[in-house]
Structure 1
Amino acid sequence: MVIRVFIFFITVFSCHFAYLQDSIPQVDSIPQTVIIDSTIVDTIVIRRTQYRIDVVPRGVNLTNPVISFNQTKVLNEPPKRFKVPSFWTKINRLGFNMSEVAFVNWNAGGDNAISAIGNMRFARNYKFRFINWDNDLSLKYGVNIQEGRKPRKTEDAIRLSSTFGYRNDTLSKWYYSVNLKFNTQFADGFKYPDRENPISTFMAPGYLFFGGGPSFIPEGKNFNLYLSPTTVKATFVLDESLANDGAFGVKKAVFDSNGNLIQKGENQFIEFGILVTNTWEKEIAKNIIMDHRISLFTDYIRRFGNIDIDWEMNFNFKVNNFFEANFGTQIIYDDDILFDTEIADDGTVLNTGVPKIQFRQVLSIGVVYTF
């Protein structure tokens, strides 16, 4: 029995070692062609049998969804139709600012006074790909009423600006631009307390700028730098009395020795030169918006290098959607506007006057409506 078991194990081990031998024949002297097994073995996927869930956990809903219109209500308003996106942006702004002081039995003295300023601004701006077109109209008028004297004007301006620009590609911030600007005022201006002889009126003066040049307009910055080496500046003085006096740079009238008018004064004065303008609107702090505008002009022919300046800086302090405070300053210098002119009774000019820096400052609080 032991011998039979021994023979069985010997036979098993012999077969096992024979199976583990290299199947490629090795011949020392004669090379043999090796045949490589090319049998392709595919992946066998064994799927587990899926059983129906007998115990459904609480909170699981296996029912089919049912669509019901029982809760549907009729719309109170008609549905809004799709609107094609517009590349126009608009600003409609109406403002009214007022300051007031009143005294009753005030030992230190003082006069009751009210100051009011109304302003309107309308803007229509278009921007799409290669084209940028900005249009802005600003109207302002203010008056001061003080106890014991007649009303006096404190603010008066009409300003219109339009700039059309074109660029070569959508990545460039520089535009080829054409600019038109117009400035004048509503009512007569006086050197108080003189109310008989106005020193300015509607279209006296009136300023018109027209020219072309490059503009730097970065995306989303509310910044515009305009450089025009070819700008025509036209000054209009349509009031005959002011034109005869040669106000605002126009050629004045010619009188004889007896004061009789020989030739009327001209109503317009044309200059050709360089114009640089910059507008910048930025929120410098929460609810504090800075509005900066400057215009620089010099004439090629008459006085090149002598620069006319119009610089305005405003700070708007927003309280809420309807109330805001405003602090603003403006500086103007124009060598065609002369001060301290002295004229004799017979019309002889004793002193032609000198140009001076004009400065204005406003602080007010009021209501504003934007739509």
Structure 2
Amino acid sequence: MKHLFIYVFALAMVCNVQAQTLDSLASELVKDTTYWQSEFSAGLNFNQAAFSGNWKAGGVNSVAFGTLVTGKANYAKGKWSWDNQAELIYGIVKNEGQEFRKSNDRIFFDSKIGYKTGGSWSYFSSVNFLTQFSDGFEYGPADQTTLISGFFSPAFLTTAFGMEYKPNKEFALRIAPFSPRFTFVTDPNVSTNVPNNYGVPIGQTVRTEWLALQLFATYDKDITDNLSIKTRYQMFANYETLAFKTIDHRLDLMLIAKITRFVDVTFTSINVYDIDMDPGIQYSQALALGILYKVSNKK
């Protein structure tokens, strides 16, 4: 309860700056919605493989499901802007003789307020949140499982204050020399199985890194009418433990190729280097065929 109170208090203090700025925008947002650009997409994919009992080439019967939901809501008027995005991804797979296993899992939210200073530069204040929906396991012999992650275990809440460079609609780079981050591990069973506990001190549920630098770059482009790419790169460096090996890097990539109006092929990839998680580079990728519904009021 003590840690929860500290977290809520710190979060309230950090978000207060954005709240004060939003108050100045609130009346305009209520009066006029023509300055909003929004986009929403939702997808469902299914993969299946089946083999007869005498199939000599070998193979394992399997089924897999995946879901993808993304959304954006961006406001811009005069020198002020307010950009919001959300990304929810989840997938499961079942091979014959095994229980269902998770194949993809991500919850991401980002909100940024900007004030244009001239040219391609703006002052900005932002907050983003990253975690997962369900428990993650390490699998051993005979399908033995070891819990290594879960909802809010870990979770990352990162705030940032600095300058943004945005030369066009597709690319943006945020440079935040002051970027406090809160890392949460709320399940004690995770800390038992993960010795470094994602950087959170053993016996605690929150790690606070007040003095840090963050770079946040995005590239979002419709290459053709049927092919789009979305990338996001984050670098986080704690001033107090600054060294080449302690700098965190994360690269998210999504490619969507439309086959018909509602059928698409989606490729997702996550690449992470964080010494508090693992001394090596982590990566995951998924390729799926499915149904994608997308609406937008982009001009």
TM-score category (smaller protein)? 0.7 to 0.9
Q: Once the two structures are superposed, what CA deviation does each residue of 1:322-343 show, in whole Å capped at 9, x if it has no partner?
A: 11111232210100013xxxxx
Larger-Rg structure: 1
Partner Cα separation in structure 2 for residue 215 and residue 296 of structure 1: 15
Letter in 2 for 1:361: Q
Shift of residue 212, structure 1, vs aligned partner = 0.5
Partner Cα separation in structure 2 for residue 138 and residue 312 of structure 1: 11
Aligned counterpart in structure 2 of residue 125 of structure 1, from 53, 64, 74: 74
Contact 2:138–2:145 under 8 Å retained in 1:
no
Aligned counterpart in structure 2 of residue 228 of structure 1, from 169, 176, 182: 176
State how 1:143-222 maps to structure 2 within 5 Å. 143-169=92-118, 172-193=119-140, 196-219=145-168, 221-222=169-170
Shift of residue 286, structure 1, vs aligned partner = 4.9
- Unaligned segments of structure 2, at least 5 residues: 1-30
Q: Which moved more, 1:133-142 or 1:278-287?
A: 278-287
Aligned counterpart in structure 1 of residue 227 of structure 2, from 285, 288, 294: 288
Contact 1:314–1:327 under 8 Å retained in 2:
yes
Contact 2:39–2:71 under 8 Å retained in 1:
yes
Partner Cα separation in structure 2 for residue 128 and residue 218 of structure 1: 17
User: Larger helix proportion, structure 1 or 2?
Assistant: 2
Matched residue SS, 2:147: coil
Contact 2:184–2:206 under 8 Å retained in 1:
yes
Contact 1:317–1:326 under 8 Å retained in 2:
yes
Contact 1:228–1:275 under 8 Å retained in 2:
yes
Question: Is residue 142 of structure 1 aligned with residue 82 of structure 2?
Answer: no
Q: Once the two structures are superposed, what CA deviation does each residue of 1:90-109 show, in whole Å capped at 9, x if it has no partner?
A: 11211012222111231122
Contact 1:243–1:251 under 8 Å retained in 2:
no
Alignment TM-score, normalising by the size of structure 1: 0.66
Q: What is aligned with 1:103?
A: 51
Matched residue SS, 1:187: coil
State how 1:228-307 maps to structure 2 within 5 Å. 228-243=176-191, 245-252=195-202, 265-271=203-209, 272-305=211-244, 306-307=246-247
Q: Once the two structures are superposed, what CA deviation does each residue of 1:205-245 show, in whole Å capped at 9, x if it has no partner?
A: 000100201011234x2221111011011110111233455
Contact 2:111–2:126 under 8 Å retained in 1:
yes
Contact 1:133–1:164 under 8 Å retained in 2:
yes
Partner Cα separation in structure 2 for residue 92 and residue 334 of structure 1: 31
Alignment TM-score, normalising by the size of structure 2: 0.81
- Moved runs in structure 1, 4+ residues, more than 6 A? none
Partner Cα separation in structure 2 for residue 303 and residue 85 of structure 1: 44
Taking structure 1 as reference, are residues 273 and 121 closer, same or farther at Cα in structure 2, changes over 3 Å only?
A: same
Shift of residue 268, structure 1, vs aligned partner = 1.1
User: Larger strand proportion, structure 1 or 2?
Assistant: 2
Contact 1:229–1:275 under 8 Å retained in 2:
yes
Partner Cα separation in structure 1 for residue 289 and residue 97 of structure 2: 25
Aligned length: 258
Q: Over the residues paired in the alignment, what is the CA RMSD in angstroms?
A: 1.8
Letter in 1 for 2:198: F
Q: Larger relative CO (CA 8 A, sep 6+): 1 or 2?
A: 2
Q: What is aligned with 2:272?
A: 332
Partner Cα separation in structure 1 for residue 224 and residue 294 of structure 2: 21
Shift of residue 291, structure 1, vs aligned partner = 1.2
Taking structure 1 as reference, are residues 335 and 237 closer, same or farther at Cα in structure 2, changes over 3 Å only?
A: same
Contact 2:196–2:277 under 8 Å retained in 1:
no
Shift of residue 370, structure 1, vs aligned partner = 2.1
Contact 1:243–1:267 under 8 Å retained in 2:
no
Taking structure 1 as reference, are residues 130 and 195 closer, same or farther at Cα in structure 2, changes over 3 Å only?
A: farther
Q: Which moved more, 1:89-98 or 1:198-207?
A: 89-98
Q: Which moved more, 1:300-309 or 1:193-202?
A: 193-202
Partner Cα separation in structure 1 for residue 121 and residue 129 of structure 2: 24
Question: Is residue 313 of structure 1 aligned with residue 253 of structure 2?
Answer: yes
Q: What is aligned with 2:286?
A: 362
Contact 1:113–1:146 under 8 Å retained in 2:
yes
Q: Once the two structures are superposed, what CA deviation does each residue of 1:253-311 show, in whole Å capped at 9, x if it has no partner?
A: xxxxxxxxxxxx11111222110011111233452212111101111002344320110
Percent pairwise identity:
31
Contact 1:208–1:233 under 8 Å retained in 2:
yes
